[in-house]
Structure 1
Amino acid sequence: MIPSSMELLRSHLSKVRIPEPTNRIYKHECCISFDTPRSEGGLYVDLSSFLAFGKEYVGWNYEKMGNPVYLHIQQRKPVTEDRPLQKPTILAIGT
């Protein structure tokens, strides 16, 4: 029988650490490359060491550290408008 994703997560909860106020959580940039949450694929934060990895380096970190639980962080890129800003039609000073 194939375990559900919740059962799989529960089996690895002992490896997850709860951050304390003194812990640093690196969630803004990959510790190996320049990937950010806005990069394609986002960032994966190891919930044991609190280090962030780009999609290409998650497997490497898992093989090295054996921590299977990650927090996936993705941010959408802001949508830019193609139309130009409207120019003011009336200029008034001191009215």
Structure 2
Amino acid sequence: MTIEPLDLLRSNLSRVRIPEPTNRIYKHECCISFDSPRSEGGLFIDMCTFLAFGKDFVGWNYEKTGNPVYLHIKQTKKLAPEDRPSKKPTLLAIGV
């Protein structure tokens, strides 16, 4: 018998904190390494401490704190289509 992800989340909801306006949420860079949401694995935010970890450090944080719920943030760069015309300035006006 396998546990469904939603059932696993429901069983750990007591560990999830709701951020308040005074809480700082570190979601731009891993607190241990230089991983960011644009890194290969993205960032994982611990939903109890609101600290961010790269994919290599999530297991370490789980072993240390026992917090099993993370928010995964991953950004990918969207390439602009090449058939779109580039918008170059045609006039230069200074002080007009």
Query: Which band: TM-score by shorter chain?
Result: 0.7 to 0.9
Output the aligned Cα RMSD: 2.4
Q: Percent identity?
A: 64
**Which residue identity is paired with 1:74?**
K
| Mapped partners of 2:64, 2:35: distance in 1 | 20
Number of matched pairs: 90
- Relative to structure 1, the CA distance from residue 22 to residue 4 in structure 2 (aligned partners, 3 Å threshold; closer, same or farther) is same
- Relative to structure 1, the CA distance from residue 81 to residue 70 in structure 2 (aligned partners, 3 Å threshold; closer, same or farther) is same
Which structure has the bigger radius of gyration? 1
Q: Secondary structure at the match of 1:68?
A: coil
The offset of 1:79, in angstroms, is 2.6
What is the aligned partner in structure 1 of residue 43 from structure 2? 43
- Relative to structure 1, the CA distance from residue 78 to residue 11 in structure 2 (aligned partners, 3 Å threshold; closer, same or farther) is same
- Relative to structure 1, the CA distance from residue 67 to residue 92 in structure 2 (aligned partners, 3 Å threshold; closer, same or farther) is closer
> Runs of 4 or more off by more than 4 Å in structure 1?
80-83, 91-94
Q: Secondary structure at the match of 2:61?
A: helix
Query: Which sections of structure 2, spanning at least 5 residues, go unmatched?
Result: none
The offset of 1:2, in angstroms, is 1.6
**Which residue identity is paired with 2:62?**
Y
TM-score in terms of structure 1 length: 0.83
What is the aligned partner in structure 1 of residue 33 from structure 2? 33
